[in-house]
Structure 1
Amino acid sequence: MKLINKSMLTAIITLSTASVYYAQQTRDTVDTRSKDIEQVVITGVADLAKDRKTPVAVSNIKAAQIVERLGNQELPEILNTTPSVYVTKGGGGFGDAVIRVRGFGNSNTAVMINGMPVNDMENGAVYWSNWAGLSDVTSDIQVQRGLGSSKLAIASVGGTMNYITKASDKKKEGIVTLGIANDGYLKTSFAYNTGKSKTGWSSSFLLGRTAGAMYANGTNFESYNYYFALGYQPNEKHDLQFTFTGAPQWHNQNFTNTIQTYIKYGKDGEPNRKYNSNWGNLNGEEFSTNTNYYSKPIASINWDWKISERSKLSTVGYGSWGRGGGTGFLGSINGKTVFNLAKTADGQMRWDDIVRWNQGQVVSDFTVGNTTNAPANATPGIATRSNGLVRRAHVNSHDWYGILSNFQHKVNENWNFQVGIDARYYYGYHPGVVSDFLGNKEYRENLNLNSQPFYTVTQAYNAVPSANPFVKAIKDDSQIASRNYDGEVLWYGGFGQIEYSNDKISAFAQGSVSNQGFQRIDNWIVDGVTKQPSATTGQVVNRKTGFKDILGYNVKGGLNYNVNDQHNVFGNIGYYSRQPFFTAVYPNNQQVVNPNLTNEKIFSAELGYGFRSSNFRANVNLYRTSWADRFQRRTGLTIPDGNGGTFQNAYAEVNGITEVHSGVEFEGFYKVGQYLELEGMFSMGNWEYKGDASSTSYDENNNPINLSAGSNVATLALDGVKVGDAAQMTASFTAILKPVQGLRLYANWRYANDLYAGFNVNDFDNSRNTATFRAPATEFGALELPDFHLFDIGASYVFKLKSGQSFTIGANLYNLFDTTYISEATTNIHANQTRENFAAGTSGTTAYNNYIAAGQWNGISQQNQVYFGYGRTWSTTLTFKF
């Protein structure tokens, strides 16, 4: 099923207005001429830092750089040349990129579009596949590291990324773009801008399509993006902007495998970086265990009202309607989950054999370790939670409405203040459905307490987003499978800021307070029952929990001093009492409020120095951030089941985490002359856990996983362990050469070191499981991964026509020398372990023998679960401007 008919491809487009300027533009600092640090309202309520004014660590990426270097990379990857930013492709699926700022991940780095928050209101996550079209309409990305200058109570533990889109009143022009890249990647786009009329009206629009496959096998995708902006400026006092944008997409995903597995399916002892264990062929077509599909349009109305020469009111009302979800599996075959069934010789899923077994046929060698015929299905065509396999989809749809309003008044030349409100309402829909019966005729659901002992599901939903962005999240409640709950979040808050500025000094103090109310609604619960695992004996559990209100606040301030026209110094300090996410309020997806619920406490301080001259500019920053009482849900884990198999897509909930992140950052730009420019950055951090924590583990269907002594609770010895998932030392150097007019060449070197594996519930358990190894931090600590160097090159040339039209050709090569490197790891199995590190008895001996047999790769045990980075990839683009 296609989202848009192929006959419409002639209308496919992209609003990349800035692409015609990139031959002249470079990475720039923001305007330095303003006499105060009043809110920069480039679009609506966006809080953008000003160079040598706002006392925060900040970097800017212009549209020119995005157009020149992004190619077929994910949009966040353009930030990899920014200090203390580490972006990976995750599993490498379309839009699955993961970003960390100063060691803090997606959920704790605030992402905003024109000042509007877009982090998910239930878990803080940002799914970049939902914003696939953002790169085409972004005019500037500003990264504020640390607590930043935003007045809102947002998740800026690591930093804030504000994506500023193009306004509708750009000059009249149109653009057609064609892009091709490795693995069948194809992007076609068209855009048109009307310019502003004499009566104050303006509009812009885009349509675009991107499809093909990513670097890893089994990662086909298809994405569309659209954008419409309508502006009206009747006079100098009022400016209104309406925007509507979305990017419906589906893409197949990839998860970690052991290094041993990558080597098994590689050649000559080298890992197969393209290997993906999630897919195979079904009826001759690619079919994946995990397909993500989603459409998340967002609409906004911005109103800027210049009340007087001293007063201004900026307001934005917005709405977002997310529709879609992600697939997984229900059931098993002869006690084996889908991930533990035997594969083909090249490691692919045997989907056709699974269909045959579901229908009652005998399939040979179908379970791991079984070389004879596997027992036939006793109930052909009928799947349950314990017999037969169906692919399900967990729907994560939502309706989200919000309003932001900021009043600013300039008291005199030196003082001004701002006050405002931030109100949001979010309703999330989380049913489950069957997306493919795989040869079965029905699935019997037994978890709905309103329909016991079971009811029958016979309808399958395609894992493709609807072309209608407002479609109902689920059409038929009688066909829900796996789960059926809703989440409701009510957010309201206020903020204020006072500022002082003169030619030498600029200072601010700000604060905000917010109340977040969380309610969980389980549509399968009968009011008054006590059958939930997390409910204590005799405890009454209702379908609606009622709202759990939690108050949070933040206070922060900073000061910048301009020593002279070249030198400036600044400092800032802040404290957040931040509400936990929805998943922390209702752990294990149940109706019981977490008895240990507490706000997270974040304290941050920063010092900075800046230098500016006609040809050279540089920034140096020192920072320290402590983060206490943190709750984290880690998903996509692989956990041994104690019977020789594993739980795939398991998750762990970790309580009581404390982290301290400190470091130093440098960023510089040097214009050597008319033809050569140099950019560079260096950052070095020390990010560690302080104290221990506890965790509980569950499979993907919320069933507890026994870790040791019949319990799913583990004490994690985290004190002193390095924070993983992000390189604590990064460096980058870029040279831009402009030998002749219209031609730009660039080369980039990037280095990552002090990169540690992320922890999973197995890695730092103080106990000893009888079936597998545990690595207490006191013995080994976090696993340090090999450092790596990457090189990218690119070129672009603008052909200008006499008519004023132009063609632009661009090409990029990423990972020029095809370096093999590990970008992430999710386990901490060290290469210097001895027999005594393993449990006693036969199971410990088996685990140790497997560990020895696996051997090492680049000093890393091959039993570790990792993601390898992409090998050499390429992209080319042809753009026509008229």
Structure 2
Amino acid sequence: MKRFLLSAGLALATICTLTAQFDQSTVVDNAGFPIEGVAITSPTSTQTTYTDGRGKFQLPPPDKEATYNSSDNQARLSANGSPMDDRIFSFQSIGYAQRSFQILDVMTFKPQRIVMQPTGYELNQIIVSATAATSKTPVTYTNLEKAEIQERNLGQDAPYLLKWTPSVVVNSDAGTGIGYTGIWIRGSDPSRTNVTINGIPYNDSESQGVFWVNLPDFSSSADQIQIQRGVGTSTNGAGAFGASINFNTNQLAEARKLSVDGSLGSFGTRRGAVQYTSGLLDNGLKVDARYSKIHSDGYIDRASADLDGYYAGVTYNKPGTNAVLRFNAFGGHEVTYQSWNGVTQGEIDAAGRRSYQTVLGGILQPLADEITQRDIDEAGRTYNSVGTEKDGEPYDNEVDNYRQNHYQLHYNNEFGGKWNFGVSGHYTRGLGYFEQYKADEDPADYLITNAGVEETDVIRRRWLDNHFYGTVYSLRYRATRNLDFTFGGSANEYLGDHYGQVIWARDAGDSEIRDRYYENDASKRDFSNYLRANYGFADGFNAYVDLQVRTVNYDFEGIDNTGEFINQDEQLTFFNPKFGLLYDFGDGQAYASFGIAQREPNRSDFVDNPVDSRPVPEKLFNTEIGIRKQAGSFNYGVNAYFMDYQNQLVLTGAINDVGENVRTNVADSYRLGVELQGGYQLGDFVLGGNVTLSRNRVASFTERLDLFDEGGLAGNYIGEEERLQEDKPLSFSPSVTGALGLEYLAITTKNHRLSAALQGKYVGERFVDNSGFEQSALDAYYYADLRVSYRFAPTESPLGALRLTFLVRNVTDRLYVSNGWSYRYGTAGAETTLKGMYPQAGRNYMVGLGFDF
């Protein structure tokens, strides 16, 4: 025991000594400005560390087999950046020449000031800095770096790679994380999260939602993903009412590499991907390319997905200049069997019993008495009502079929040592439809004449044909070491054509195939500018001001799918100021900020309501107070937030006939919470986690209930009743969420890395509407995933690395529901909720194999 205590004491003293020394070492540019995010690696370590907001750093710890020569305590820079031996530490950052630093004795290493020379503009500080936060920005954010993305990614949609981050809840219609997925952050629904790709808005202009299914395997091309919770910084596109997610794919500092990845898993899941990067060549060119193909049968019946995704990029940085030109093209094609209806408990019970009746056939009837409710739930929860309007077997092509292509052209330059300029042009082309079999329809609703019947079966397609294009720009001026200004903004236009076709009718009358039965056009113009200033004063203080003006012009005309004219237009102007103060105390920051965000209703809010009662814009007052710290192997963060809404558009729990959520304004509502997160590495074990505790309430609102007689939904409709609801929980907003992970680094050598990670997630009770009625509640749930990863990097071999990942999801085989909807009505003097649910898969498996050359 004494030997153990002595060894532990010496180890702790060593860690403290290294931390104290290296906190004084900094990395700066040739103008003396600290460089944040410089990656520091060594051949003797499989870990990478990064400089903080002051450019300070700690060396990555050596692996178990590594040894250091202590015969000399001097350090020297290599002349050409090439490694001299295993004691070389490499410093790499986008837009700067790589530096290599040889340390012959880490125990006596003296503090250093390492200067990195720019080779071109620091790309992260122009396109991405317009939307991304840094350690000097007083907002709440989490970064996911490329190495972590690659280790987690087996082809799931992006939300499932982010599900372990604070305040996040994810859902998959198919129950597997592939296909139609969504992400809730702090209880805000997916349409309230602003997503940008290299600073370009990605949210759909009309619904304001994010359809990850249109970008299959896009995370494989991401160099960094940043989540900002709350209002965050001024960004391009729709305002952030819960969070922002920023993807960056434009990293320059990469070595040449060809990667081939494949994965197989439960529910017929398979993925293949090929990815190549040339690295930055001597002539200033860099080429990136990826193609991915993914298939999954889905956990829910018939909820299959066939996905194709691609990414291509060409970068040119003329040697000796700071100008960088980049062209990106990416997109995907998805064919997904619809599963957006969810399932009610009645449908689960009926499907479960049918399943056992089919198996038993009456022969083993005594065994049926032993069947439990869990048995029925497990057998029936995969039921999918989509496609069942067709007699006999469900319709086999009730699919969503959509293709989306994105094109981006970025130009960045740095001049005069203080000015940074960036401008981007973009164009997105989307085209596709969803197909439905509808039984017993009125032919007149489809403009079918002379059908000779009052009802007929049809197969219809609802098309969306859209264009989105515009420009994004920013200009940054660093007046002094402590003062910089950024002016930026965007100008975008969206054109959308909506129409419906009948491709088959049992009684077609005088109609022809693909006759259109409705058609309407929409256009939306979005223009915004912001001015941001950061001012450092005293010792470690930084003041932040961000002022944005955004104007929206939206109009649409024509006939919608119900045959009604929907001619409407709206012009709105929003002023969104943000202020903050941050104190940097060396290995951490304390901050406070206040911001206002405003945004317009989406298309369905307009279309589903008459002009005289349509929803009004919503407004958010957001306050954030927090502290974050990184000290050696320990880090933590505490953040308190208050999100006070005026006229918030909240989900009622109801969905329309195409699976979209219906929303309404509530005058006064709020989210109040605290987010805790931390991590600690002790030897070969890494422990990390987060928890969010919150109170999310609607002060009051008027609920409208349909009334039926004693027969309920099968009885007679009586009318409508209004009920005043006060101090009710906000829909889809759990009071508690949390994640906990433990990773064991079994082997960490120069050639081998083997780790095992167990991660758990807890989501508290949520309500699918704002009634607070117990029947509208989704039960709290938890699940755990186990991941084992192995990496083999042989020396003197054309194979750069072999990567093997084995993933067990939902290890404990929990039967849980992650999303839902409701229809509330009154009958026999009582209120009742019909609740739809989206069950998620039980225990399932995935294995991935990758090769890097």
Q: What TM-score comes out, normalization by structure 1 length? A: 0.74
Q: Deviations over 1:71-113 (max 9, x none)?
A: 3532212222111111111353742111111111111111111
1:120-519 to structure 2, matched below 5 A, reads 120-152=204-236, 154-167=238-251, 170-234=254-318, 235-254=320-339, 255-266=341-352, 268=371, 269-270=373-374, 271=377, 272=379, 273-279=381-387, 287-288=395-396, 290-332=398-440, 387-435=455-503, 437=504, 440=506, 442=508, 456-459=511-514, 479-481=515-517, 483-502=518-537, 503-519=539-555
Q: Deviations over 1:94-136 (max 9, x none)?
A: 4211111111111111111112111111121111101213121
Secondary structure, in 3 states, of the residue corresponding to 2:822? coil
Give the Cα–Cα distance (whole angstroms) in 1 for the partners of residues 723 and 194 of structure 2. Answer: 28
Q: State yes or no: 1:872 paired with 2:846.
A: no
Is the 2:589–2:628 contact (alpha carbons within 8 Å) kept by the matching residues of 1? yes
Equivalent position of 2:697 in the other structure: 688
Structure 2: which amino acid aligns with 1:733? L
Equivalent of 1:803 in 770, 780, 797: 797
Equivalent position of 1:89 in the other structure: 172
Once the two structures are TM-superposed, the CA of residue 219 in structure 1 deviates from its matched residue by 1.3
Once the two structures are TM-superposed, the CA of residue 329 in structure 1 deviates from its matched residue by 4.5
Is the 1:585–1:594 contact (alpha carbons within 8 Å) kept by the matching residues of 2? no
Decide whether aligned partners of structure 1 residues 292 and 138 sit closer, same or farther in structure 2, where only a CA change above 3 A counts: same
Equivalent of 1:665 in 668, 675, 680: 675
Give the Cα–Cα distance (whole angstroms) in 2 for the partners of residues 383 and 618 of structure 1. Answer: 72
Secondary structure, in 3 states, of the residue corresponding to 2:163? helix
Give the Cα–Cα distance (whole angstroms) in 2 for the partners of residues 383 and 593 of structure 1. Answer: 37
Once the two structures are TM-superposed, the CA of residue 651 in structure 1 deviates from its matched residue by 6.4
Q: Deviations over 1:745-773 (max 9, x none)?
A: 333343434322212xxx85xxxxxxxxx
Equivalent position of 1:732 in the other structure: 739
Equivalent position of 2:760 in the other structure: 750
Q: Choose 46-55 or 513-522, whichever is displaced more.
A: 46-55
Give the Cα–Cα distance (whole angstroms) in 2 for the partners of residues 870 and 240 of structure 1. Answer: 45
Q: State yes or no: 1:33 paired with 2:69.
A: no
Is the 1:218–1:286 contact (alpha carbons within 8 Å) kept by the matching residues of 2? no
Secondary structure, in 3 states, of the residue corresponding to 1:81? coil
Give the Cα–Cα distance (whole angstroms) in 2 for the partners of residues 441 and 120 of structure 1. Answer: 37
Decide whether aligned partners of structure 1 residues 231 and 147 sit closer, same or farther in structure 2, where only a CA change above 3 A counts: same
Secondary structure, in 3 states, of the residue corresponding to 2:183? strand
Structure 1: which amino acid aligns with 2:797? S
Give the Cα–Cα distance (whole angstroms) in 1 for the partners of residues 185 and 524 of structure 2. Answer: 26
Unmatched tracts of structure 2, length 5 or more: 1-38, 57-120, 357-370, 707-713
Give the Cα–Cα distance (whole angstroms) in 1 for the partners of residues 507 and 253 of structure 2. Answer: 56
Q: Choose 513-522 or 82-91, whichever is displaced more.
A: 82-91
Once the two structures are TM-superposed, the CA of residue 617 in structure 1 deviates from its matched residue by 0.7
Equivalent position of 2:67 in the other structure: none
Equivalent of 2:781 in 788, 807, 813: 788
Number of residue pairs aligned between Structure 1 and Structure 2: 709
Equivalent position of 2:809 in the other structure: 814
Q: Deviations over 1:617-652 (max 9, x none)?
A: 1110000001221345768738xxxxxxxx885864
Equivalent position of 1:569 in the other structure: 590
Q: Deviations over 1:274-328 (max 9, x none)?
A: 2222246999997457422211111101111112201111111111011113233
Once the two structures are TM-superposed, the CA of residue 565 in structure 1 deviates from its matched residue by 2.5
Once the two structures are TM-superposed, the CA of residue 510 in structure 1 deviates from its matched residue by 0.9
Give the Cα–Cα distance (whole angstroms) in 2 for the partners of residues 23 and 484 of structure 1. Answer: 64
Once the two structures are TM-superposed, the CA of residue 803 in structure 1 deviates from its matched residue by 1.2
Is the 2:390–2:437 contact (alpha carbons within 8 Å) kept by the matching residues of 1? no
Equivalent position of 1:613 in the other structure: 631
Once the two structures are TM-superposed, the CA of residue 584 in structure 1 deviates from its matched residue by 3.2
Q: State yes or no: 1:827 paired with 2:822.
A: yes
Give the Cα–Cα distance (whole angstroms) in 1 for the partners of residues 852 and 596 of structure 2. Answer: 48
Decide whether aligned partners of structure 1 residues 210 and 381 sit closer, same or farther in structure 2, where only a CA change above 3 A counts: farther
Give the Cα–Cα distance (whole angstroms) in 2 for the partners of residues 662 and 632 of structure 1. Answer: 16
Give the Cα–Cα distance (whole angstroms) in 2 for the partners of residues 422 and 432 of structure 1. Answer: 33
Secondary structure, in 3 states, of the residue corresponding to 1:864? strand
Is the 2:651–2:731 contact (alpha carbons within 8 Å) kept by the matching residues of 1? no
Equivalent of 1:578 in 599, 604, 607: 599
Is the 1:814–1:874 contact (alpha carbons within 8 Å) kept by the matching residues of 2? yes
Secondary structure, in 3 states, of the residue corresponding to 1:149? coil
Once the two structures are TM-superposed, the CA of residue 24 in structure 1 deviates from its matched residue by 7.3
TM-align CA RMSD: 3.7
1:700-711 to structure 2, matched below 5 A, reads 710=719
Q: Deviations over 1:561-601 (max 9, x none)?
A: 12x3245310000112323323334444xxx6455553311
Equivalent position of 1:365 in the other structure: none
Equivalent of 2:154 in 68, 71, 84: 71
Secondary structure, in 3 states, of the residue corresponding to 2:347? helix
Decide whether aligned partners of structure 1 residues 724 and 24 sit closer, same or farther in structure 2, where only a CA change above 3 A counts: farther
Equivalent of 1:623 in 626, 641, 658: 641
Structure 1 or 2: more strand by fraction: 2
Once the two structures are TM-superposed, the CA of residue 548 in structure 1 deviates from its matched residue by 2.6
Relative contact order, CA 8 A, sep 6+: which one is greater? 1
Decide whether aligned partners of structure 1 residues 169 and 70 sit closer, same or farther in structure 2, where only a CA change above 3 A counts: closer
Equivalent of 2:142 in 55, 59, 63: 59
Is the 1:27–1:65 contact (alpha carbons within 8 Å) kept by the matching residues of 2? no
Structure 2: which amino acid aligns with 1:78? L
Once the two structures are TM-superposed, the CA of residue 196 in structure 1 deviates from its matched residue by 2.3
Give the Cα–Cα distance (whole angstroms) in 1 for the partners of residues 404 and 719 of structure 2. Answer: 42
Give the Cα–Cα distance (whole angstroms) in 2 for the partners of residues 210 and 26 of structure 1. Answer: 31
Q: What TM-score comes out, normalization by structure 2 length? A: 0.76
Is the 1:322–1:399 contact (alpha carbons within 8 Å) kept by the matching residues of 2? yes
Is the 1:109–1:159 contact (alpha carbons within 8 Å) kept by the matching residues of 2? yes
Unmatched tracts of structure 1, length 5 or more: 1-17, 338-378, 445-454, 460-478, 526-530, 534-540, 639-646, 698-704, 765-776, 831-836, 852-860
Is the 1:757–1:826 contact (alpha carbons within 8 Å) kept by the matching residues of 2? no
Secondary structure, in 3 states, of the residue corresponding to 1:41? helix
Give the Cα–Cα distance (whole angstroms) in 2 for the partners of residues 289 and 24 of structure 1. Answer: 52
Decide whether aligned partners of structure 1 residues 664 and 650 sit closer, same or farther in structure 2, where only a CA change above 3 A counts: closer
User: What percentage of residue pairs aligned between the two structures are identical?
Assistant: 20
Give the Cα–Cα distance (whole angstroms) in 1 for the partners of residues 784 and 182 of structure 2. Answer: 20
Is the 1:91–1:256 contact (alpha carbons within 8 Å) kept by the matching residues of 2? no
Give the Cα–Cα distance (whole angstroms) in 2 for the partners of residues 116 and 873 of structure 1. Answer: 36
Secondary structure, in 3 states, of the residue corresponding to 1:218? coil
Decide whether aligned partners of structure 1 residues 258 and 584 sit closer, same or farther in structure 2, where only a CA change above 3 A counts: closer
Q: Choose 59-68 or 419-428, whichever is displaced more.
A: 59-68
